[in-house]
Amino acid sequence: MIEQKLLDILLCPACQGDVKEENAKIVCLKCGRKYPIKNGIPVLLIDESEKSAKA
Ligand SMILES: [Zn+2]
């Protein structure tokens, strides 16, 4: 579980959108990219992200 404080300061590197934690991933609310969490640390790298099927 990622601290809300940390989530509040994180931004999607692709679009600078806000992110939330969902199913042990960081999900961008704006573009829908999903970023992995490794060892409890969000990995906000575009290269590591999964593009949303919706977008
Ligand atoms: Zn984004």
Specify the pLDDT at position 12: 97
CATH code, 32 = 2.20.25
- CA 2 to ligand 1 centroid distance, Å: 18
Q: What residues does the ion ligand 1 have nearby, CB within 5 Å? A: 12, 14-15, 17, 28, 30-31, 33
pLDDT value at 55 more than 90: no
Distance 3 CA to ligand 1 centre (A): 19
Query: Which residues form the domain of 24?
Result: 4-48
pLDDT digits (tens, 9 = 90+) for 7-51: 999 999 999 999 999 999 999 999 999 999 999 999 999 999 999
Rounded to the nearest angstrom, the gap between the alpha carbon of residue 32 and the centroid of all alpha carbons in its chain is 9
Q: Give a yes or no: residue 30 inside a domain.
A: yes
- Residue 55 placed within a domain: no
Query: What's the pLDDT band for 54 if we cut at 50, 70, 90?
Result: low
Mean of pLDDT values over 4-8: 91
53 falls within a domain: no
Q: How many domains is the chain partitioned into structurally?
A: 1
